[in-house]
Structure 1
Amino acid sequence: MAPALLHEPPRAIGYCRVSTGDQAESGLGISAQRSALEQEAARRGWLLEIVTEEGASGKDLAGRPKLRDVMDRLDRHEADVLMVAKLDRLSRSVHDFTGITKRAAKRGWSVVLLDANVDTTTLSGALMANVMSSFSEYERGLIAQRTRDALAAKKAAGVRLGRPRRVSPEVTARVVALKESGLSLAAIAQTLNDEQVPTAHGGAQWYRSTVQGVLKSSVLDAAAAGPLSQ
């Protein structure tokens, strides 16, 4: 009889982040995050690799190349779990967080946030992630509705709206989050059209090219902001 195959323990990548101003904040330093991750991994019997990113803003994913590399590795099944000590170390945007959890579900890896009771390796933790995602969807709907209402009010008041050169930061964050979740340019355009989100020029129709333009602008803005951006 052949010997039974032993299952290897899950492989986790622990992500730690501080921005320049965070380094002196209590409980947010790299050493505190590392310690929390190591203790939890040891408790679960998981293999753990720590990746740190210093001087990186939590504003969006564009300015965090190490996190993007970690998710690419998870997509390639070089590890099984993304583990983070605190939600705001992963993202200060619920939109970004939702995109990450959707990407994880689609690509077959899990997300564990120690402070937010999110653990998509369990049913209850996955439920918490879905609750946060639902609130994110609701928030995006409110943003879209406020934008439409504001434009309608200005138009009713006879204000010439003109042709704005750029979309709002909220819409840009929405487009980036959808891209990070794994959607194609065409799917992102359709989503924005379904939500009736105005384009950069106040139009009602998004296309692959307009979505691509927003993504390129977000990357250029992140590069221009430099490492001191918070």
Structure 2
Amino acid sequence: MTAAEPRIEATADTVVAYLRVGRAERAASGLGLDDQRAVIADYADRKGLTVVGEYVDEDEDLTGLKLFRGSVGARTAFEAVARGDAGGLVVSRVDRLCRPIVDLLRLLGVSRAEGWSVHLVDLDLDTGTPAGRMAADIITRSVSSAQQRTSERTKVGLTAKKERGERVGAAPSLPVEVTRRILVERAGGRTLQAIADGLMSDGIPTARGGSKWFAATIKAILGSDNAADVRRQLDLDS
């Protein structure tokens, strides 16, 4: 959609259904899809909804917004509600759309911004109703609070480790002698790219076993905890 294409306002009681089976769930009989159709049909009947379209992805293991960007069925369903073909999107289970809760929150945010509702049958959640919007808000606030608490605990833990003189970050992945060489050459005035070129010329592998070194990689190593340890040993200026 573009600014020149305003969204058509579909009635709230119309939905498009999205069905998905992953590779591991695939069955030659297609019963996985049939089960989802039955669940959605029952939900639509109970809620007085009309299913005006169906979109399917088979052998698709992506979820969340990656699903909508990377698979034909999900992307087409997403576009349908975005342009107003229906008032909402319905799925039989939340894991047909999203697994990480963060992806669900992003999806709810997109649907709210574009003016369509999300129906999650397994949670009996309809964001087109006041109760459904309240439930979605509670989920959002709960996750946000949990993330903030986790972030605060992480910061406190890292600070405590630093005060105890413990290493913060990943353990060394480069041989010490390679890190030492990089530090010494940098202290001697060589450019980041010159250091990288020298390592490649000498056939020294990267931390991941690769053969290509880049200036950005050298810069990252120079700023690492591992380099700080070696720098102190060598008594080099930072």
TM-score (norm 2): 0.56
Q: Given that residues 58 and 89 in structure 1 are in contact (C-alpha distance below 8 angstroms), is that contact kept between their aligned partners in structure 2? A: no
- Aligned-residue offset at 1:69: 3.8
Does the CA contact (< 8 Å) of 1:84 and 1:112 recur in 2? yes
- Give the Å deviation of 1:45: 4.2
In the alignment, structure 2 segments of 5+ residues that lack a partner are 1-9, 172-219, 221-238
Q: In the alignment, which of 31, 34, 38 is matched to residue 34 of structure 2?
A: 31
Say yes or no: does 1:133 pair with 2:140. Answer: yes
Offset of residue 19 of structure 1: 1.6
Which whole-Å CA distance do the structure 2 matches of 1:162 and 1:9 have between them? 50
Q: Secondary structure at the match of 1:12?
A: strand
Aligned partner of 1:18 among 21, 45, 58: 21
Alpha-carbon separation, structure 1, partners of 2:152 and 2:129: 35
Q: Which structure carries more relative contact order (alpha carbon 8 Å, separation 6+)?
A: 1
The letter of the residue matching 2:66 is A
The one-letter code sitting in structure 1 at the alignment partner of 2:58 is E
Query: Please, which of 48, 51, 54 is the counterpart of residue 47 of structure 1?
Result: 51
Alignment of 1:139-158 (within 5 A): 139-158=146-165
Q: Which amino acid aligns with 1:40?
A: Y
- d(CA) in 1 for partners of 2:63, 2:49: 33
Match of 2:234 in 1: none
Residues 159 and 107 (structure 1), Cα distance of their counterparts in 2 relative to 1, 3 Å cut = same
How far is 1:33 from its partner?
0.7
Change beyond 3 A, Cα 1:147–1:71: farther
The answer to whether 1:56 aligns with 2:63 is no
- 1:9 Cα deviation (Å)? 7.2
Distance 2:94 2:65 in 1: 14
Distance of 1:100 and 1:142 partners within structure 2: 23
1:103 and 2:90 matched: no
Contact 1:87 1:115 in 2 (8 A): yes
Q: Contact 1:9/1:47 (CA < 8 Å) preserved in 2?
A: no
CA drift of 1:158 comes to: 2.0
The CA deviation at 1:118 is 0.9
Task: Tell me, in whole angstroms, the C-alpha distance in 2 between the residues paired with 1:78 and 1:151.
Answer: 50
| Structure 1: 4+ residue segments shifted above 6 A | none
Please list every run of 5 or more consecutive structure 1 residues that lacks an aligned counterpart in the other structure: 1-6, 165-200, 202-230
Alpha-carbon RMSD across the aligned residues, in angstroms, is 2.8
Larger radius of gyration: 2
Which of 101-110 and 59-68 deviates more?
59-68
CA distance in 2 between counterparts of 1:67 and 1:142 reads 34
Residue 74 of structure 1: CA displacement? Answer: 1.9
User: By how many angstroms is 1:112 displaced?
Assistant: 0.8
Contact 1:112 1:119 in 2 (8 A): yes
Contact 1:12 1:83 in 2 (8 A): yes
- 38-47 or 103-112, larger mean C-alpha shift: 38-47
1:89 lines up with 2:96 in the alignment: yes
Task: Please report how far the alpha carbon of residue 34 of structure 1 lies from its aligned counterpart in structure 2 after TM superposition.
Answer: 1.2
Aligned to 1:168: none
| Residues 146-191 of structure 1: per-residue CA shift (max 9 Å, x gap) | 4323422332232344699xxxxxxxxxxxxxxxxxxxxxxxxxxx
How far off its partner does 1:21 sit? Answer: 2.1
Identity percentage of aligned residues: 27
TM-score by length of 1: 0.58
